[in-house]
Amino acid sequence: MKKEKRNERAAIKVYLTKAEHDRLYELSLGSGYSKSSYMRRLLKGAVPPKMPPREFYEFIFELNKIGTNINQIAKVANMSGSVNEQEYRKEAEKLKKVIPEIREIYLREGEVHIGNNEDLGD
């Protein structure tokens, strides 16, 4: 699907204090958006979430590998009528190991890993 081209028609100049500018820079950098894109998203009522850390993508990669291996085990099981229990247990152990790591990093109590109105500052 081709991305629709925006037609900017109005440029505005906004005066910010150094602290406000630093905060905008920090929030936009953390979200992966330019300052302009970050502000447009705010105007649309959405607070852009922080970009996940590199480890997030490593976990996703590991989960995809484990999922692929389990699918291959299931395919062989369907074709042959039996499961290679050793391979299955190995993949299940990988999964049991990675899930708590993901929980520890991304579900820390009291932390919000997606944008919220508090990020706007006052």
Answer yes or no: is pLDDT of 117 > 50. no
Residues 44, 80 within the same domain: no
**Residue 114 placed within a domain:** no
Residues 1, 47 within the same domain: yes
**Residue 40 placed within a domain:** yes
- pLDDT at 15 (0 to 100): 95
Residue ranges making up the domain that contains 85: 54-106
**Residue 62 placed within a domain:** yes
The number of domains in the chain is: 2
pLDDT band at 62 (very low <50, low <70, confident <90, very high): confident
What are the phi and psi torsion angles at 44 (to 5°)?
-85, 0
Average pLDDT, the chain: 80
Residue linked to tokens 């708590």: 100
pLDDT band at 92 (very low <50, low <70, confident <90, very high): confident
Residues 101, 73 within the same domain: yes
Picking from 29, 53, 49, 48, the residue whose alpha carbon sits closest to that of residue 105 is 53
Residues 46, 11 within the same domain: yes
